[in-house]
């Protein structure tokens, strides 16, 4: 049984394909379109998934979409009747619903030579989020929580997952949203683009909680663990905000009202310098999010009585808060999948469709298998790696280098192919230890926003000047943003204050105080690092590279940042080569080939 899962007509459009409940392929549309957070119908991601499985569209049995326009219908009607003052708001929502209802027509345009015969399932947005984390997690039972901006008239949902079932026990409905709170304040601080919230997280450690009294006027915690917004500080609920969700970069108008500027002062314009006050606001925004987040978790833990937690939704990308779960709540185990945001809904919706449609005698949920993470017993196929995207052979790469020989003058570049993986890793590790910057391209593209060792730029974490080198010469991004360490799982407890599985770089831990100076390039202003735990079983070549670096330096980690330059992470070797040539990288590793820039 083939099931195609989609996140469509929204930012981070994506597709995944299941075969008999197992993930075959998954990718985000932005990687093919080369436009960050691309929104619309994920046609190229669908084409990739079908080609990876070697099937045609008419061989797909079910299509599942992470949105159900009929969900919370009575609440929508009630809200509309009470807020009839803006008819354009209602008309725009109806137009968006019509697009979502016309999937069959969209498939016909994209695949004119293959009919869609599949049954279409429309899965409520937050159920898809919950499924995207719980149904691939290494827990038989877990509290599962989804928090984001909005989807299907809700901004949050939570419940209990048991084996292959999810029972939802609560929601937060429109217009209240922690995601909108964080996004609106991100805009206020002067970061206007879709997805800029991570900049506020990076800026927060430079500030102090000096405006908490004001920020607490914006978000109100409720006795049942939920939260509400003081809507006077916002305008998303009035229909005054422009949204663009189709055919390019998502664009969202200003979410906050003039009342916010009365409370906090004038907004920062994008071209104005960052002052300490902006850093203090960033710190306070992050602190307020954490107050609301842990208020909810503290309510849910005693209610359900399980120590395992899974998180999804755009707010589950808040790796700073995630990293505090075991310290600030009673939950002992946490799982956040690599595409926690809306892209992950493609997998969640597909898994819900699988559970609804699978043969009655299917034993998947009855057979416990050992999972790499925590040595846990899992009643499903656990996602313990994120390598679900396209791959490219050495033959493909050799042909590319032959075609691009004019760009690779032998006086400027040295090209050599290595048949021995050990030698390739040792050569690359030595270059890293010498302070060189490496473009590292191997295996299948990562699923989700993080580069996890297959499409990465790799550097020496010991060098205090490496942040400046990367920011000025390659990444060209704000100097306050941190870089992440990829560390061999076996050594986490030697370097961090906590030891836990973080395969997808979705948690921030404190680096042990006596080790911070040794790895200053990956140590943030508050002594933290957003780590990736690397396992030999799931990415042997990347583990071998780090191990080779460890043997040279006695440091079992490397600095890892995404292989890109103000663009989506590279997908194809062509994009990796182009990025290498236009920046100041020293080495490019394309599978078994090393291209070295002569100095």
Q: How confident is the model at residue 88 (pLDDT cuts 50, 70, 90)?
A: low
Residue 12, in any domain of the structure: yes
Q: Would you say residue 378 has pLDDT above 50? A: no
Total number of domains in the chain: 2
347 shares its domain with 461: no
467 shares its domain with 349: no
pLDDT at res. 534:
98
Lowest mean pLDDT among 154-158, 354-358, 470-474, 529-533: 470-474
Q: Would you say residue 527 has pLDDT above 60? A: yes
428 shares its domain with 491: yes
Q: Would you say residue 69 has pLDDT above 90? A: no
Q: How confident is the model at residue 15 (pLDDT cuts 50, 70, 90)?
A: very high
Residue 250, in any domain of the structure: no
Residue 233, in any domain of the structure: no
346 shares its domain with 414: no
Which residues does residue 456 pair with via DSSP β-bridges, in sequence order? 440, 562
d(CA 399, CA 280): 52
Residue 322, in any domain of the structure: no
409 shares its domain with 499: yes
d(CA 49, CA 95): 29
Condensed to tens digits (0 to 9), the pLDDT of residues 160-175 reads 999 999 999 999 999 9
* Contacts of residue 200, Cβ cutoff 8 Å, sequence gap at least 6: 182, 185, 186, 189, 191, 282, 285, 286
Q: Would you say residue 79 has pLDDT above 90? A: no
Q: How confident is the model at residue 105 (pLDDT cuts 50, 70, 90)?
A: confident
Which residues does residue 251 pair with via DSSP β-bridges, in sequence order? 244
435 shares its domain with 530: yes
Nearest 5°: the CA angle 39, 14, 176 is 65
Q: Identify which of 449, 378, 446 has the alpha carbon closest to the alpha carbon of residue 136.
A: 378
DSSP conformational letter for 86: -
346 shares its domain with 422: no
Of the residues 300, 334, 353, which one is the last residue of a structural domain? 353
By CB neighbour count within 10 A (0-12 exposed, 13-18 middle, 19+ buried), where does 264 fall? buried
pLDDT at res. 220:
98
pLDDT at res. 86:
60
d(CA 450, CA 317): 10
pLDDT at res. 85:
57
d(CA 389, CA 446): 6
CATH of residue 110: 3.30.420.40
CATH of residue 540: 3.90.870.20
* Contacts of residue 342, Cβ cutoff 8 Å, sequence gap at least 6: 7, 10, 11, 12, 14, 66, 148, 151, 314
Of the residues 321, 353, 385, which one is the last residue of a structural domain? 353
- The reported pTM is 0.94
d(CA 344, CA 128): 8
Asked if residues 507 and 479 have their Cβ atoms less than 8 Å apart, the reply is no
462 shares its domain with 540: yes
Asked if residues 563 and 457 have their Cβ atoms less than 8 Å apart, the reply is yes
pLDDT at res. 370:
44
More confident residue, 163 or 85: 163
Q: Would you say residue 142 has pLDDT above 50? A: yes
Q: Would you say residue 94 has pLDDT above 60? A: no
Condensed to tens digits (0 to 9), the pLDDT of residues 434-457 reads 999 999 999 999 999 999 999 999
Residue 462, in any domain of the structure: yes
Containing structural domain, residue 540: 394-597
Residue 51, in any domain of the structure: yes
E strands of 43-103, at which residues? 62-65
Q: Identify which of 593, 585, 539, 589 has the alpha carbon closest to the alpha carbon of residue 429.
A: 589
d(CA 125, CA 348): 9
Lowest mean pLDDT among 183-187, 476-480, 488-492: 476-480
Which residues does residue 16 pair with via DSSP β-bridges, in sequence order? 5, 26
418 shares its domain with 512: yes
471 shares its domain with 347: no
| Residue 370 neighbours by CB distance under 10 Å | 10
101 shares its domain with 15: yes
Query: What is the pLDDT averaged over residues 375-401?
Result: 87
- What burial letters (b/e) apply to 69-81, b meaning 16+ CB within 10 Å? bebbeeebeebee
E strands of 330-479, at which residues? 333-336, 369-370, 377-378, 413-417, 438-441, 455-459
Q: Would you say residue 38 has pLDDT above 50? A: yes
71 shares its domain with 13: yes
Residue 85, in any domain of the structure: yes
């Amino acid at each position: 049984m083939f099931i195609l899962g989609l996140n469509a007509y929204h930012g981070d459009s994506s597709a995944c394909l299941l075969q008999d409940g197992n993930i075959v392929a998954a990718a985000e549309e932005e990687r093919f379109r080369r436009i960050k957070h691309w929104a619309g119908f994920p046609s190229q991601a669908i084409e990739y998934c079908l080609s990876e499985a070697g099937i045609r569209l008419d061989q797909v049995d079910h299509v599942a979409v992470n949105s159900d326009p009929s969900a919370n219908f009575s609440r929508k009607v009630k809200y509309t009747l009470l807020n009839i003052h803006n008819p354009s708001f209602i008309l725009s929502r109806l137009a968006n619903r019509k697009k979502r209802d016309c999937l069959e027509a969209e498939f016909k345009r994209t695949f004119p030579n293959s009919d869609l015969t599949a049954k279409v399932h429309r899965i409520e947005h937050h159920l898809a989020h919950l499924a995207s984390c719980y149904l691939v997690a290494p827990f038989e039972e877990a509290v599962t929580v989804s928090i984001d901006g909005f989807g299907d008239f809700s901004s949050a949902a939570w419940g209990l997952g048991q084996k292959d079932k999810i029972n939802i026990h609560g929601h937060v409905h429109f217009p209240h949203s922690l995601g909108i709170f964080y996004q609106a304040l991100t805009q206020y601080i002067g970061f206007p683009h879709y997805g800029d919230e991570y900049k506020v997280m990076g800026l927060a450690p430079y500030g102090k909680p000096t405006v908490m009294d004001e920020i607490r006027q914006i978000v109100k915690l409720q006795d049942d663990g939920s939260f509400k917004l003081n809507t006077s500080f916002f305008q998303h609920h009035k229909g005054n905000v422009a949204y663009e969700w189709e055919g390019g970069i998502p664009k969202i108008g200003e979410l906050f009202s003039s009342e916010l500027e009365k409370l906090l002062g004038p907004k920062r314009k994008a071209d104005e310098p960052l002052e300490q006050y902006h850093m203090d606001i960033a710190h306070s925004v992050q602190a307020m999010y954490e107050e609301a987040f842990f208020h909810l978790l503290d309510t849910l833990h005693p209610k359900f009585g399980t120590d395992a937690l899974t998180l999804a939704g755009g707010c589950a990308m808040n790796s700073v808060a995630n990293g505090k779960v075991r310290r600030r709540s009673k939950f002992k185990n946490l799982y956040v999948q690599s595409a926690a945001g809306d892209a992950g809904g493609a997998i969640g919706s597909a898994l819900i469709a699988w559970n609804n449609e699978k043969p009655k005698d299917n034993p998947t949920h009855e057979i416990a298998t050992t999972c790499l993470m925590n040595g846990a017993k899992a009643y499903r196929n656990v996602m313990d790696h994120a390598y679900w995207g396209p791959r490219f052979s050495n033959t493909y790469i050799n042909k590319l280098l032959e075609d691009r020989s004019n760009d690779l003058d032998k006086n400027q570049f040295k090209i050599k192919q290595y048949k021995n993986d050990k030698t390739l890793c040792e050569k690359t590790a030595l270059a890293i230890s010498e302070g060189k910057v490496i473009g590292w391209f191997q295996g299948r593209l990562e699923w989700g926003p993080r580069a996890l060792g297959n499409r990465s730029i790799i550097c020496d974490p010991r060098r205090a000047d490496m942040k400046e080198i990367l920011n000025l010469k390659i990444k060209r991004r704000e100097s306050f943003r941190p870089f992440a360490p990829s560390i061999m799982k076996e050594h986490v407890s030697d370097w961090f204050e906590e030891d836990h599985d973080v395969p997808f770089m979705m948690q921030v831990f404190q680096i042990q105080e006596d080790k911070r100076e040794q790895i200053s390039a990956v140590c943030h202003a508050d002594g933290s690092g957003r780590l990736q735990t690397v396992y030999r079983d799931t990415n042997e070549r990347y583990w071998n590279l780090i191990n080779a670096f460890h043997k040279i330096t006695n440091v079992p980690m490397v600095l890892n940042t995404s292989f890109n330059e103000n663009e989506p992470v590279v997908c194809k070797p062509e994009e990796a080569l182009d990025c290498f040539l236009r920046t100041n990288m020293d080495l490019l590793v394309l599978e078994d080939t090393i291209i070295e820039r002569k100095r």
